[in-house]
Amino acid sequence: MEENDVVRSLITTIGSFIEDRLTNKEQRIQHKDHCAERLAAEDRTAKNQTEEIHYSDQAVLANLDWGIEALEEAIATSNVETKMARLEYAEKMLQVCAMLHSDRKTAGVPNFYLSAWAHLNLSYLWKLKNDNRNSILHMLEMFVVDPFFSRVDFAPELWRSIFSPHMSSIIGWYSEERRKIVFDMIPDNSDLSLTVDFDHCFNESLILSVRPEQAERIQALENLYAESLDSNTRLYAKYYKDCMNYDAANTRKAILPMMPIVEPPMTPLHEISSRLIPDYVKFGPVLPKSAGFSTNQSRDASSSRRESSRNSSPKTPSVTNSSPKSVKKPGNIQTSMLRLLSTRATDSTSLPISPLSCCDNSSISSTDSDEETKRFVRAALATSPTSVISQASVETVINALKPYILCLCNSEDLKECEEAVLTVSKIWEDSNVGPGINSYLSSPTIVNGFMEILSASFDKDVLRTTICTLSKLICADDRVRDLLTSIDSDFYCLTDLLKKGLVEAAVLVYLLRPSFSQISRHDLVGTLVRIISDENEDVTNFRFSIAPKDAAIALLEQIVIGGDESEKSVNAMNVVVTDNGIPALLSCLDRVDGRQSVVSILLRCMRSDSTCKNVVANGIELSHVLELFHNGDDSVRGMCVEFLCELVRLKRRTSSDEILRIIKEEGTFSTMHTLLVYLQMSPMEQKPSVAILLLQLDLLAAPRKPSIYREEAMEAILEALRSKEFPSSQITALGMLSSLVGSLRGSNKPCVESWLLKIAGFDRTCGDTTKTDETKADETKEEERAARNWEKRIAFVLSNHEKGSIFKAMEECFKSNSIEIARSCLVVSTWLVHMLYSFPDCGTRDVARKSLLDKFVNVLQSSKNLEEKILAALALRGFASEPCGLNEIGVYAKSLWKTLRKIKKSCTAASDITKALMNLPSIDAADLWSCVEGPAIDVSVNGEILSMIHVRSRLISSHSDGTIKVWDTAKRAPRLIQEAREHSKAVTCLYVTPSCDKLYSGSLDKTIRVWSIKQEEIYCIQVHDVREAVLALAANASVACFSSQGNGVKVYNWSGIVKNIGFNKQAKCLALDGDKLYCGCSGYSVQEVDLKTQSSSTFYSGAKKLLGKQTIHSVEIQDGLLYAGGSSVDGVAGKVFKLSSKAVIGSLPTGLDIQQTTVNNDFIFTATKCGIIEVWLKERVAKIAYIKMACGGGSTRITAVASDSDGQKLFSGTSDGRIQVWSLD
């Protein structure tokens, strides 16, 4: 074949092989597990081993593992930039192992194996980079470095394609030599020819008759055969490499590579047909998974290998115990030595470790004391019939079993059948014969006989023996499992035995691998918890593949984590409410086999019911969880991290800190070091949880002191927030950031959103509604202080990392199309901005404002969710606390104004922003004001409207015919809900207490009535005859103050006594503030009456005109300010006073007399006789607009005005009996 043809063939064959591997993730995982298990095949009987594994060796193994992990991430991602970055990283890591010296070892592992493994992955890597040449060269280099394991472990199918066709002479030689040896083993061979198929001549007696020297010859032949295949594979791999390099040179001057000639160690006597050669000899011996690496094989010359094989004594294969006790779980196999060493390498205090600390040593055997000191042992190379020596005859055992089996299957006598079961079990156990007996006992008829015993017998020993026998059969043959699961009654029988107290039935139920739907129908939670909580359940004389308690734990885990979310929660709650459920699980953490399942169950329980979290925190031995984390694979570590993150989220901050300290200090290994290493190699979806836990552990120290842990954790958090291609990671990162806030709900969910809404003025229940007694008040305050201090510490670190990088990451999250991500981002960003203004600025406020202000504005403008608007308003209030931030918000003032006014009643933060915007010099307040005229209601049938007051979304009006009407103002047009006719004459005035529970009405019928205010109506509870017409009224629970026709004011003490407080002024209007009464009087003055001493004094006395009467017609008190309006004097018709100092802080310049005044949170409304209502900005006392009321005639005037406290609506009443409504924007 020409060199070009060879190159094309290599490109096609090897390229196809690599593409198949890259597209088959499951095959890659299985291959990695297989290689990892071979790495873990150490002889653990070397108890006196004291050789310490050097850190440099551990680092090399870690590099290989990290390189493979990075390669897998590159294969999985679709982002080109991420793929190339991971490939570059993987290449650096893998090159370290690829360049190892083949004749040495690293941490006891032969370098040729590590190097070959690295070259295999490098070939994948270059294929992903579309470099076929380098990809093929690395694949061929793998066969050069380690031809044996390349054809056995790494690429056996590729070896068959490009190497095996050249090995026919070696295969023929081996077959011929083997036939000679076997021919000598047959006692009567005179009638046989050399061409007969000897594989049909093997039987039990022939195998037992093999002499030691014959077994030694077979072993030496197999060793020499393997060496020949290896050496010639290496020769052809080098030849193929030369062909590739020659093609790459593309020059005629290059020396053409010469094809090697394969010669067997000995020329066969005659040609052997390949049809007669078994597969197991064509391609070399097949190693068991538990086999390690040969330490007695030299890689120098074949002569030394043959010498070592001659000197080695023949080995008798150990008989594998058929008990399922030796069956290894896949989860345990995945814990490779690479991951274990790389994790522990970060702890300088770790002791010399065994790479098999997590492996079962029952499958590893040693033959002499010399091999006990060797780290890796290669098992017997061949599994051909001549190398397997049984210790008992299968046929003999079956013949012994047949009478009892017949009895079991055919007898109608239960006692005989029970004795047969016990005898069958004893014979099988004593025989120590494996597959043949398993196959015989696995027939459907025999299995059905065992099941009939389970359904009919009451003897516990018989039942236990039957379960043990079936368990062994299931482990040996999956067909038995299929047979038992195909009949529902069999499963019902087993669950019924389990409920009746036969704990061994849990093992059989577990081995049947029932689905969640099957097992959930039987209500086994209580039964399984009882088995777990019983300390004596593991005391049994039977050998099971899994202890009954461990089986119960595994089944309980399947129930708790199976089904949908609602089913998970219900089943987890059943565990919690079961007596001793959580403590029983905690006591099982010391069980290595069931530890992973216990942690999984506890995690689900804590997520479903926070009440059990304190029980877990108080009773758990965290060292077991940390040991599971240190020794587990990626999935186990991820679960442990989630468990620890959940555990530290306690309602009491001090308890959370204590748990964090235990995690940080507990265990032989450094948890922070292990978390740091795991963070660097963990999958993207697990990075946020690991980073948040690592960050919390680091923050137990001084938050202002930087550390490598904090830097790595923050980088991982930022990476997760920025990863648009991994939305699940963004959601996890945002959720974990929310969990850092010190407050938690009773449901164990972060309360940061409710807490922020409460700060913004929207008080929503955040946690449990139970009241705290006085004895715990101080403790609650201490916990609250600890929570707030923790929040400041966390917020300081997050905000100041790399000058506010987290705010830029939040900006990216806001752009997500996911509603969940956007909402979570809003909550976390609001919290960060709010906390940002609770500590000194370190230069990050500007970054936060530039990154997020526009985002919050957009939420406020476009969101239809009230809570989202309030959160955005809270964040904007933080920005508005600084002049530069307020100016930037001012740009959006017009577009935000309407929204801010709408949410003001639910959010004090919105009110603060509107006030700040109104006072901003660059904003014309008149531009922000607008109103829409609403419907006008004609109530002229009741005469003139004399007074109006707004309370609790109700408008109450009084009329000249003595009627009081109650209106519902929730809709655009007020709706009349009640009409009261208790007064006989005009109701001149209405007054409501600040508590809004009492209404007082004064009338010309000389009575004052007290009304109770309810949601749908008012009703009169008291009537007081004051013997004078009431023109103005103010009252509280102690007294009622009113004015009549004369000077001064009357004070009525509700017991029937009226006292006149005289001053030479006629009181036109009254306002009450505590024990002080303020009277707007004629003469343009305001009188102050002290109700305690019942004395009066002049609060304010205005200038008098020579012509005309000047009068104060209206007084209002709000927020410590007195608003007085009356006659216009020198262009001023009203003033604003500060009650504490009596100082004038503002005036209302207008040429119109003010007849009525009403004040809300933002504006002052003053009504004049001519039907004009002027609007004043409350904060600056500046007129911004006016409203012209369409009056019915020239004599019609405004007699009453009222506004709701939120400033959403304005009401006016006129002398012609009309109520006008305006909607304010």
pLDDT bucket at 3, cuts 50 / 70 / 90? low
Which among 853, 901, 920 has a CA at the least distance from the CA of 1210?
Answer: 901
Band of pLDDT at residue 963, cut at 50, 70 and 90: very high
Same domain, 89 and 11: yes
- State residue 677's pLDDT score: 86
Q: Largest Cα–Cα distance in the chain?
A: 156
Structure confidence at residue 764 as a pLDDT band (50, 70, 90): low
Cα–Cα dist 430/422, whole Å: 12
Is the CB of residue 371 less than 8 Å from the CB of residue 185?
A: no
Determine the pLDDT at residue 209: 58
Q: What is the mean pLDDT of residues 216-231?
A: 85
Q: What is the CA radius of gyration of the chain?
A: 45
| 300: exposed, middle or buried (Cβ count in 10 Å: 0-12, 13-18, 19+) | exposed
CB 994 within 8 A of CB 981: no
- 519: pLDDT confidence band, cut at 50, 70 and 90? confident
Q: Locate tokens 């901003």: which residue? A: 920
- Among 203-207, 435-439, 688-692, 1072-1076, the range scoring the smallest mean pLDDT is 203-207
- Mean pLDDT score across all residues of the chain: 79
Residue 142 is predicted with a pLDDT of 92
Alpha carbons 675 and 346: distance in angstroms, whole number: 10
Q: What confidence tier does 120 reach under pLDDT thresholds 50, 70, 90? A: very high
Confidence of residue 398 (pLDDT cuts 50, 70, 90): confident
Q: pLDDT tens across 463-503, in order?
A: 999 999 899 888 888 888 888 887 778 888 888 998 888 88
Q: Is residue 1056 part of a domain?
A: yes
Q: pTM for this structure?
A: 0.58
Pick from 143, 164, 185: which residue ends a domain?
Answer: 164
Do 858 and 982 lie in one domain? The reply is: no
> Is the CB of residue 120 less than 8 Å from the CB of residue 27?
no
Count of CB atoms within 10 A of residue 1093's CB? Answer: 8
Residues 911 and 1035 grouped into a single domain: no
pLDDT at 1192: 53
Q: How many domains does the chain have?
A: 3
938 & 882 share domain: no
Q: Same structural domain for residues 983 and 905?
A: no
Count of Cβ atoms closer than 10 Å to residue 1014 Cβ: 13
Contact 495, 524 (CB under 8 A): yes
Q: Would you say residue 382 lies in a domain?
A: no
Q: Is residue 278 part of a domain?
A: no
- Answer with the one of 904, 923, 942 that is the final residue of a domain: 923
Residues 1161 and 1022 grouped into a single domain: yes
* 901 and 945 together in one domain: no
CATH code, domain with 1040: 2.130.10.10
- Do 936 and 983 fall into the same domain? yes
pLDDT surpassing 50 at residue 204: no
Task: Report the residue count for the chain.
Answer: 1225
CA 901 – CA 1205 distance, rounded (Å): 12
525-575 pLDDT, tens digit per residue, is 888 888 888 876 555 667 777 888 888 899 998 888 888 888 888 888 888
pLDDT tens-digit map of 615-624: 888 888 888 8
Do 838 and 859 lie in one domain? The reply is yes
Strand, coil or helix: what is 1182? strand
User: What does the pLDDT read at residue 1087?
Assistant: 94
Q: How far apart are CA 721 and CA 801, in angstroms?
A: 14
Structure letter (DSSP) for residue 1152 = S
875, 891, 923 - which closes a domain: 923
Let me know: does 1141 contact 1150? Beta carbons within 8 Å: no
Distances (CA, A) of 450 to 436, 463, 476, 507, 710: 19, 9, 16, 16, 61
Q: Are 1023 and 1009 in contact (CB under 8 A)?
A: yes
Show the domain range for 858.
752-767+791-923
Residue 382 scores a pLDDT above 60: no
Mean pLDDT is lowest, of 45-54, 150-159, 313-322, 978-987, for 313-322
Residue 255: pLDDT band with limits 50, 70, 90: low
Contact indicator for 603, 641 with CB cutoff of 8 Å:
no
Lowest-confidence region among 309-313, 580-584, 721-725: 309-313
* pLDDT at position 1003: 96
**Is there a domain that residue 1170 lies in?**
yes
On whether both 1046 and 1185 belong to a single domain, the answer is: yes
Distance of alpha carbon 463 from the chain centroid: 45
My answer on whether 60 and 104 are in the same domain is yes
**524 is a domain residue:** no
Same domain, 983 and 1001: yes
> Is 473 part of any domain?
no
Q: What is the pLDDT of residue 300?
A: 40
736 assigned to some structural domain? no
Assess if residue 274 is contained within a domain: no
Instruction: Choose from 192-196, 288-292, 753-757, 1191-1195 the range with maximum mean pLDDT.
Output: 753-757
